[in-house]
């Protein structure tokens, strides 16, 4: 805006200066004409009265005027008769215009060079009665007018510059008060909102313009965001409360499953022990073989209770891993050999596919426990026969961009119901009939693999059956 105003002012000043220059030139020429007419009247009056006026003194005095370059008097033949003392007659060669004035009796105004100077010249005839007795010429230097024009230009430029500076300062102050400060205020508000300070509000300017409207809208936006944050925080609190209730419900459900499973697992052997003990108490005269049989059964049931308690304790204490380099091919071959009898009895065929021979750091006994547990579960899900496929390969991506050894167990059983997948590795979760398992096997297996720095995934295959995938970190490919 300042540049536009300055441009308009400069253009207006240029037009004004041109008009002023024209006025100065016209005024200067009018002044010369006035001097010329005055001198003409005086000389013609002298000729009519027959007085011998001292013309030389008169033209010398007129030539002393700063605006007059020189004065010349011509006789009736067009010859130079007198010149002012500022000029020299011998330097003046061109008298044709003066002779034309004497012949025609008409004044001439023109620009010519006189004694090495460009001048504006006026030549007037001098009449004595009805005849022309001579002529006079009065000259004004062009430089005289140009000096005035130069001074006028300088004054105009200086005035225009001062006005532009004044306008710039006024616009700067007005803009700073009405625009810059409010914008900086809005910028500060935006930065505050970016930091999360939704309580920040900008000052609304009192001028009521667009900036004020923008500040009002900014504050309304901040109010809206604050309300949304409070609503989001309220929703988050409600969601957290619901999640806590859900976790609490899940824990209660887990405890319930534990209680049911443990009650049945421990209840069955305890009932057997109680029955055999009553027989021993009531049949004191029973044969020795029968009493030994009862004691043997009681002992086997107490061992069963001990195993259940040991599994429960396994989940509550850390493992003391005995790490060593394990050849996964060899370990999987041993696992297949151990389950071969159970697989044949169920009509399940075992396929082993080891694409790469891998070594990992691990506890061979605990890893074998994991593999056996997964295999036995798979065989139990295929009572009418099927196929158990065991694969071993390296996954370059792994976890956190680190390679992992992958062992995948896939069966052709009914698969895992979708609603059971999220809880498949939870402690005490089981889909088996009560008394056929505590649901600790997969939970223990998952815990063992986590202790090794890996994880287990379970899924139901599209073509049918279930798949359990074990990931173990930092494999080494054997040459």
pTM (2 decimals)? 0.43
CA gap 242, 226 in Å, rounded: 24
For domain 2-150, give its CATH number from 3.30.390.10, 3.40.190.10, 3.30.450.20, 3.50.30.30: 3.30.450.20
- The side-by-side arrangement of strands in the sheet containing 324-327 is 324-327, 358-362, 476-477
Tens-digit pLDDT profile for residues 165-190: 888 888 777 766 666 667 777 777 77
207 has pLDDT over 80: no
Tokens of 439: 């649901």
Given a cut of 80, is residue 443 above it in pLDDT? yes
Cα(57)–Cα(59) distance, integer angstroms: 6
Q: Is 186 within 8 Å of 218 (Cβ atoms)? A: yes
Q: Residue range 44-55: average pLDDT?
A: 70
Mean pLDDT of 257-270: 67
Sign of the CA dihedral running 282, 288, 290, 292: positive
pLDDT bracket for residue 467 (50, 70, 90) = very high
Average pLDDT, the chain: 80
Span 107-146, pLDDT tens digits:
898 888 877 778 888 889 988 878 888 898 888 887 777 7
CA 399, distance to chain mean position in Å, is: 31
Q: Count the residues in the chain.
A: 479
Nearest in space to 139 (alpha carbons), one of 158, 123, 157: 123
Q: What is the rounded CA–CA span in Å between residue 233 and residue 266?
A: 48
Q: Is the pLDDT of residue 440 over 90?
A: no
Tell me the fold of 324-477.
Answer: Heat Shock Protein 90 (3.30.565)
Contact 454, 334 (CB under 8 A): no
For residues 85 and 467, which has the higher predicted lDDT (pLDDT)?
Answer: 467
Per-residue confidence band for 301, with pLDDT thresholds at 50, 70 and 90 = confident
pLDDT at 90 over 70: no
């Amino acid at each position: 805006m300042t540049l536009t105003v300055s441009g308009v002012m400069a253009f207006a000043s240029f037009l004004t200066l041109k008009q002023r220059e024209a006025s100065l030139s016209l005024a200067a020429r009018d002044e010369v004409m006035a001097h010329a007419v005055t001198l003409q009247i005086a000389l013609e009056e002298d000729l009519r009265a027959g007085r011998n006026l001292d013309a030389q003194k008169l033209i010398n005095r007129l030539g002393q005027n700063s605006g007059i370059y020189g004065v010349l008097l011509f006789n009736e033949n067009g010859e130079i008769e007198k010149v002012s003392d500022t000029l020299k007659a011998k330097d003046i060669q061109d008298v044709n215009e003066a002779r034309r004035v004497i012949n025609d009796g008409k004044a001439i105004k023109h620009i010519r060079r006189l004694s090495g100077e460009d001048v504006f010249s006026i030549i007037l005839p001098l009449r004595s009665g009805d005849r022309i007795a001579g002529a006079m010429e009065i000259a004004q230097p062009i430089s005289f007018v140009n000096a005035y024009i130069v001074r006028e230009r300088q004054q105009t430029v200086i005035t225009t510059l001062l006005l532009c500076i004044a306008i710039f300062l006024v616009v700067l102050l007005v803009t700073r008060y009405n625009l810059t400060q409010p914008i900086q205020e809005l910028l500060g508000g935006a930065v505050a909102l970016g930091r999360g300070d939704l309580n920040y509000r900008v000052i609304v300017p009192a001028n009521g313009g667009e900036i004020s409207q923008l500040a009002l809208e900014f504050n309304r936006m901040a109010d809206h965001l604050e309300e949304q944050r409070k609503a989001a925080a309220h929703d988050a609190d409600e969601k957290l409360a619901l999640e806590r209730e859900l976790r609490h419900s899940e824990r209660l459900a887990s405890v319930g499953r534990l209680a049911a499973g443990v009650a049945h697992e421990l209840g069955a052997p305890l009932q057997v022990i109680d029955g055999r003990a009553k027989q021993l108490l009531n049949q004191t005269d029973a044969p020795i073989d029968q009493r030994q049989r009862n004691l043997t059964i009681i002992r086997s049931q107490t061992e069963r209770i001990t195993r259940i308690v040991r599994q429960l304790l396994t989940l509550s204490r850390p493992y003391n891993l005995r790490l060593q380099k394990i050849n996964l091919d060899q370990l999987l071959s041993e696992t297949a050999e151990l389950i071969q009898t159970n697989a044949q009895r169920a009509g399940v065929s075992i396929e082993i596919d080891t694409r790469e021979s891998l070594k990992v750091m691990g506890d061979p006994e605990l890893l074998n426990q994991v593999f056996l547990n997964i295999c036995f579960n798979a065989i139990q899900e295929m009572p009418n026969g099927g196929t158990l496929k065991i694969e071993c390969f390296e996954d370059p991506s792994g976890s956190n961009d680190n390679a992992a050894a992958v062992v995948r167990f896939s069966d052709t059983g009914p698969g895992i119901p979708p609603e059971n997948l999220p809880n498949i590795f939870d402690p005490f979760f089981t889909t088996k009939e009560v008394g056929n398992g505590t649901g600790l096997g997969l939970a223990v297996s998952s815990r063992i693999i986590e202790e090794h720095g890996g994880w287990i995934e379970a899924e139901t295959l599209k073509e049918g059956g279930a798949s359990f995938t074990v990931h173990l970190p930092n494999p080494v490919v054997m040459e």
